[in-house]
Every structure is written in structure tokens, then in C-alpha cells.
């Protein structure tokens, strides 16, 4: 019984040490920056990003000027249509415009590009816009 307790205690110590080392390693990489994830150019969502930028009205004076970060969530219906668009971010008006653009797109994602587990699922897409309208 004493042997099992010693093994348990040493396992906890080793796991704790490994956790601390992983935390230190994560904090000491290149000025604490997160590496950018490159998305495959054949990704169906790359088309959505391009359409969003092409149809976004950058001239509205109600937008916060400068770089505006937002996050848009949407679902893809079985027919490939973008539905249930909701956006939140640093500027309420930018978020509304993102929702408006994506909700009114006549674009449909090609079902052949989607795997079966991607259909009718929710997606989150970060959006970073540079607003310079003044």
C-alpha cells in the first residue's frame, strides 16, 4: 500500500512539473505572439472572406476608424447557403454591416467542397478590417 502511494505522489509531481515546463515554454516563444495559421487557398471559406471584403461598405462614417476586430459566427445549410449570421466586435456598426453582407450574399458553398461533417454546423471566422474613411 505504501508503495502505491509513493507511485501516485511521484506521478502527480512529474505531471505537475511537465505542466509547468509547458507553460514556461509557451510564454517564452517570440515575444508571446501567436503564430498565424495559414489557410488553404482551396478552402471554401476563403471565398466567403473575399466576398465579405468586396461587398463591405467602407464609407460609412459611423464606423470606428482604424483596425477593427470582429468575430462572425454562421451556419451553413445543407444547400450551401450561409444562415444564422451573428457578429460581435469592437464596433457595433461594423458588426451589423458584416451580418448584413453575409446574410444577403447570393453565394452558396459548393457541397462537393464540404465534407459531410461540415454541413449544418456553426463556424466562427475572425474578421480584421482597416477602416480609413475620414
Q: Which string of DSSP letters, residue by residue, matches 101-134?
A: HHHT---B--TTTS-GGGTT-EEEEEEEEEE---
Cα–Cα nearest to 134, from 83, 46, 73, 59? 59
Mean pLDDT in residue range 19-35: 53
Gap between the Cα atoms of 43 and 118, Å rounded: 12
pLDDT band at 34 (very low <50, low <70, confident <90, very high): very low
Gap between the Cα atoms of 94 and 99, Å rounded: 9
Mean pLDDT in residue range 24-45: 52
The sign one gets for the Cα dihedral 36, 39, 45, 49 is positive
Query: Which pLDDT value is given to residue 1?
Result: 67
In contact, 44 and 109? CB cutoff 8 Å = yes
Mean pLDDT in residue range 107-120: 65
Gap between the Cα atoms of 63 and 93, Å rounded: 6
Gap between the Cα atoms of 126 and 71, Å rounded: 4
Mean pLDDT in residue range 58-73: 86
pTM for the whole thing? 0.61
pLDDT band at 23 (very low <50, low <70, confident <90, very high): low
Residue 117 has which C-alpha cell?
A: 461533417
Amino acid at each position: 500500500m505504501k508503495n502505491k502511494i509513493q507511485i501516485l505522489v511521484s506521478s502527480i509531481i512529474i505531471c505537475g512539473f511537465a505542466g509547468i515546463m509547458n507553460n514556461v515554454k509557451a510564454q517564452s516563444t517570440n515575444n508571446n505572439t501567436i503564430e498565424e495559421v495559414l489557410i488553404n487557398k482551396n478552402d471554401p471559406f476563403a471565398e466567403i472572406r473575399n466576398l465579405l471584403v468586396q461587398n463591405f461598405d467602407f464609407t460609412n462614417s459611423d464606423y470606428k476608424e482604424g483596425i477593427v476586430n470582429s468575430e462572425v459566427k454562421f451556419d451553413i445549410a445543407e444547400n450551401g447557403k450561409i444562415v444564422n449570421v451573428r457578429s460581435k466586435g469592437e464596433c457595433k456598426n461594423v458588426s451589423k454591416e458584416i451580418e448584413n453582407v453575409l446574410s444577403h450574399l447570393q453565394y452558396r458553398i459548393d457541397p462537393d467542397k464540404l465534407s459531410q461533417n461540415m454541413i449544418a454546423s456553426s463556424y466562427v471566422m475572425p474578421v480584421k478590417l482597416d477602416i480609413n474613411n475620414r
